[in-house]
Amino acid sequence: MNRSHQKPLFARIGFLVVIVAITTSPSRVQAEHEGKLQILLLGDSTTEGSVPRRLKPEGPHLETVLEQLLAADTELPACHVINSSQGGETIRRLLDSGRYDRDASKLPGIDYIFIRYGLNDRAKIENFTENFPKHFAELCERLRHDHPSAELVPMTVIPFSSEEASTQINELVRQAAATENLEVFDIYPRYAAELNKGVNSLNYRRYPLAKIPAQYHPLVQPFVHGPSVEVMDNELDPILGDLPGWYSDRHPNLAGYNVIAHETAKYLGKRLRQRQNETASASQ
């Protein structure tokens, strides 16, 4: 072989190897949609939104609204949001049930992970104040192993339980996040402020059909789902609002999820701009 041709050939091969390495780097692999930042939402029923999805399956629901709000700011990169949440879930159940391994661990290219747990953890796990931080730390360890390029964003809970319970949960979230050196995204104040405009404006109504007087059963028939009457907002309030416990279900309706989406878009937009500025400064 003519040695005069070896160096250019090796140079070309080396150049191709570099190109392949850059284009297939794990940090650039995207989940489902190439070229978009990937945002993962992990949480319980207040993130999942199963009832609004049942009442209005066409949506738009939390993940889609968040995408749309981020896309409305043309200075931000394109984003894709994956909502991997489940009603009744605790961190322990997420990990032990296999749902994390099945639904979240192998998603490629995740850039941001929003974590919102605590409501069910407080109600279901023993020694909540002692074990919740441990479970949180275990989840963070798994996420960092499976998604090493992702930023973890712990969130406070929304005003769902009593103020005393919410304060306890959110203080534990802050403590656990501080131990993991993570910044907390505090969604609680914005949601509480919106509730001041109407205490029941952000929750749907879910009420046992058996507790509704029989003369109103024809009226509520279009809203019956299983054993319950489910109404997205205040449509039946003028007629049934005086029934004991009519407003007791505090899960978000679509308006509630829009509050969460809007505040999340504001928070993430700020983080993305910071990242853009850091990248621009590093390149100078």
Taking only the tens of pLDDT, the chain with its 284 residues reads 434 444 444 344 343 333 333 333 333 334 444 689 999 999 999 999 999 999 999 999 999 999 999 999 999 999 999 999 999 999 999 999 999 999 999 999 999 999 999 999 999 999 999 999 999 999 999 999 999 999 999 999 999 999 999 999 999 999 999 999 999 999 999 999 999 999 999 999 999 999 999 999 999 999 999 999 999 999 999 999 999 999 999 999 999 999 999 999 999 999 999 888 777 777 77
pLDDT at res. 22: 33
CA distances from 198 to 91, 97, 192, 245, 255 (A): 31, 38, 10, 17, 12
pLDDT at res. 34: 65
CB-CB contact of 82 with 41 (8 Å): yes
CB-CB contact of 96 with 142 (8 Å): no
Angstrom distance (rounded) from CA 94 to CA 65: 25
- The pTM score is 0.86
Q: Which two tokens stand for residue 156?
A: 């406070």
- Helix, coil or strand: residue 78: coil
All domains of the chain in start order, with CATH: 28-196+254-283 (3.40.50.1110), 205-248 (no CATH)
Query: Residue written as tokens 């308006």?
Result: 255
Q: Annotate 122-182 with three-state secondary structure.
A: HHHCCCHHHHHHHHHHHHHHHHHHHCCCCEEEEECCCCCCCHHHHHHHHHHHHHHHHHCCC
- Helix, coil or strand: residue 234: coil
